[in-house]
Structure 1
Amino acid sequence: MGSTSGLVDGVERIAVLRANALGDYLLAVPALTALKHAYPGARLTLLGVSWHAEFLGGRPGPVDDVVALPPISGVSTQAGGHPAPEELCAGLRARRFDLAVQIHGGGRYSNPFIRGLGARVTAGMRAPGAESLDRWVPYTDYHHETLRFLQVAALVGAVAGGLEARVAVTGDDRAELALALGEPPRGLVALHPGARDPRRRWPVERFAEVADGIDRPIAVTGAPEEKDLVMGVVDAMRRPAVPVVGALGIGGLAALYERCDLVIANDTGPRHLAAAVGTATVAVYWCGNLINFGPLSRARHRPLVSWTTACPVCGADGMDPRAERCPHDLSWVTDVSVDRVMEQVRDLLDA
């Protein structure tokens, strides 16, 4: 572990690498906020991808500007064969960052990229065998991402002001919602049945059963590629629900969730978004993912935990993060019952 810690003198420009999906960004917001508070006069540049630039442009928060990275293997894409363009690296070096922070992973690819920026001080995470940075903490398995990133922020003197992300909803977000869907009804509850990994998806029939048990207006949200899941819930319900598929960008979705009394979801970015705009959530989690990505409080966020530890099809062990993934996509979270979810839903809606 890098032995030096504490504030870095004369910091005017900070680069932070976090170039992945919505939930991944939201898990990093407390660390970004801590960095901004520690260096209030510095400009914080997020090295992200295109959606970050669209969503964060002009939005109040810790990020001052975004550099949308092209596909770079191990940095902004998992695909191989995409080296960092030299023109990009030269442009980033020309910004003369004082501090470059890696909160992106174990560092096999990201640490050389961060070192290549030429910042006065680098800080981040280091898995075994990864290149070292000036200040670093070990990257270990089964460690909550938000707490991991706050440890990195602490390496450069940034102290956590909170453990959960907050995202500002703007007038533009609310206007997008109004244009697409009109005025949401009072008491709205949203369901989000999608998740990038199909093994994290609770069955659509169970979402529908929960929705039918709530005497509230229901919206079912999803990205365009999740239309079948959204319509699976709507079609399985015994009463009407409003499908919201591809009608809203992330900002509009934030505005919708802001108007909800509750969001019921899988372990997915939209659950993090709902929590970040102040809405209560109930979500179904696989046990290993709860450790790394689950909500850190329970007053308004209730995870229901599946303790399935092996593939339901072939029995492959799911508890070793380094093990090769088996080819089966069957849900690993079906041991979470409707009754368990409904208990938490009623508790939050009756509060």
Structure 2
Amino acid sequence: MEKPLTTPSPGVGPVLEKFSNVASIAVLRGGGLGDLIYTYPALFALKNAYPSASITLLGTPIHAAVVAATQGPVDAVEMLPVARGVHDGPRNGERFEDDAEDVAAQEAFFEAMRAREFDVAFQMHGGGRFSNPFLLRLGARHTVGTRTKDAEPLERNLDYIYYQNEPDRWLEVAGLAGAPSIISPLLLPRPEHQQNIAGLRDPQRSSLVVVHPGATDPRRRWPASYFAEAAAGLAREGAQVLVVGDRSEKALAQEVAEVAARHLPGAEHHAVRSVAGELEIGDLAALLADATVMLASDSGPRHLAQALGTPTVGIFWVGNVFNAGPRGRSMHRVHMSWVTQCPRCGADITQVGWTAPHCGHDDTVVSGIAVADVVQDVLDLTATSLLLRGR
């Protein structure tokens, strides 16, 4: 242990001695929407432990959009340059193109960040093989983060074990800097975004279910026909169903809405529709906050809904439950696929990263989850949600 404990563990990890005279904190976190949401409990803990310090997120455009659209613990966002293993650039298939790195942009970034003279820099981006050397180039007075055995060490290190709940992982990292876990506040959409989505709600329907059928990894996607069947079943129970997604998911969302309509009488076709590609991230956050329940694959929008306090029903592969599944079940339900081999070639899909490369097949591994069971959980949480909201 690098420092003596100053308080007992609150249940996630040890809380070490706080750093002194901390006025500025940098947090390295690349990736997508869900990757950012994983860090929010730790960011709130850091803000609580160092209330006078500013927190600067070194992140991506989607992170900047979330920070701008919600009220949370991050004070500023700096865009990461393209850097291997931290913020990837163009890809050739699944292979990172080494010459895609913008060395000049990296040098300009590090020069600007060193000028900020951060007191503490946190690595919250993987095992550290690439992210730890990147973090050390910031020149911060103290460094904290995760580390695999082959990664460069920081001042205070947490052993990186892949199968760990991601929010808990980053809470442990915050604890290494003297920030005990707290009950995180909800993210709150800014009022202007709440106004933007006001016209989407159908007051004639008894509830609002937001559906997100997409996922970054195609293997995590429940079939579109299953989402459509579920949407139609919920509409028959009086729900308004809005299908969401980014611009790349418009065709998928439209397919779900159109197939659902075929299961409904003509007078109820309007109960299910797609708004994919029509909402900026702040409007999506406002819509999710207003939703009665969200139904989704394991995806960034589902994590965002949870952070906003909206009940969710999630379709998960078993390995992802360890990393990304909600811990409680009164407000969140998990439907889990226990498939551990690629449906096409039989490769072991429980091994990750450098241990076993992707077999190259993207067949869904969650198609065994029954629609009827999912619909029942949405209906159960609808009753809970409406009761809690006094509707």
Whether 1:338 and 2:371 are equivalent positions in the alignment is: yes
Whether 1:36 and 2:59 are equivalent positions in the alignment is: no
**Identity score, percent:** 43
**2:242 matched residue in structure 1:** 219
Q: Which moved more, 1:149-158 or 1:65-74?
A: 65-74
**2:17 matched residue in structure 1:** 6
Name the CA shift for 1:159/1:303 in 2 (closer, same or farther; >3 Å): same
Which of 117, 121, 124 is the equivalent residue of 1:103? 124
Residues 110-151 of structure 1: per-residue CA shift (max 9 Å, x gap): 111111111111000001200000000100121111111011
CA distance in 2, matches of 1:261, 1:330: 31
CA contact (8 A) 1:190 1:262 kept: yes
CA distance in 2, matches of 1:2, 1:108: 21
**2:167 matched residue in structure 1:** 146
2:197 is matched by which residue type in structure 1? L
Whether 1:56 and 2:67 are equivalent positions in the alignment is: yes
Which of 120, 124, 130 is the equivalent residue of 2:141? 120
Query: Is the helix fraction higher in 1 or 2?
Result: 2
Secondary structure of 1:57's counterpart equals: helix
Cα deviation for residue 2 of structure 1 reads 4.2
CA distance in 1, matches of 2:382, 2:327: 20
* Count of equivalent residues: 348
Which of 7, 15, 29 is the equivalent residue of 1:18? 29
CA contact (8 A) 2:65 2:281 kept: no
CA distance in 2, matches of 1:345, 1:272: 16
Residues 38-94 of structure 1: per-residue CA shift (max 9 Å, x gap): 000011111111222233137421101111112121111163331462121011001
CA contact (8 A) 2:69 2:282 kept: no
CA contact (8 A) 1:29 1:166 kept: no
**2:113 matched residue in structure 1:** 92
The 5 A counterparts of 1:228-307 are 228-237=251-260, 238-239=263-264, 240=269, 241-307=272-338
CA distance in 1, matches of 2:65, 2:56: 14
Q: Structure 2, unaligned stretches of length 5 or more?
A: 5-15, 90-95, 385-391
CA contact (8 A) 1:60 1:168 kept: yes
Structure 1 runs of 4+ with >6 Å offset: none
Cα deviation for residue 165 of structure 1 reads 7.1
Name the CA shift for 1:281/1:319 in 2 (closer, same or farther; >3 Å): same
Over aligned residues, Cα RMSD in angstroms? Answer: 1.6
2:127 is matched by which residue type in structure 1? G
Whether 1:319 and 2:350 are equivalent positions in the alignment is: yes
CA contact (8 A) 1:184 1:259 kept: no
Secondary structure of 1:245's counterpart equals: coil
CA distance in 1, matches of 2:87, 2:3: 29
Cα deviation for residue 327 of structure 1 reads 1.4
Which of 196, 203, 207 is the equivalent residue of 1:176? 196
CA distance in 1, matches of 2:210, 2:61: 27
**2:93 matched residue in structure 1:** none
Residues 289-336 of structure 1: per-residue CA shift (max 9 Å, x gap): 010011121111001000000001110101111211111111000111
* TM-score between both structures, scaled by the size of structure 1: 0.95
CA distance in 2, matches of 1:35, 1:298: 27
CA distance in 2, matches of 1:87, 1:257: 38
Q: Structure 1, unaligned stretches of length 5 or more?
A: none
Which of 327, 347, 362 is the equivalent residue of 1:329? 362
CA contact (8 A) 1:184 1:256 kept: no
Whether 1:136 and 2:167 are equivalent positions in the alignment is: no
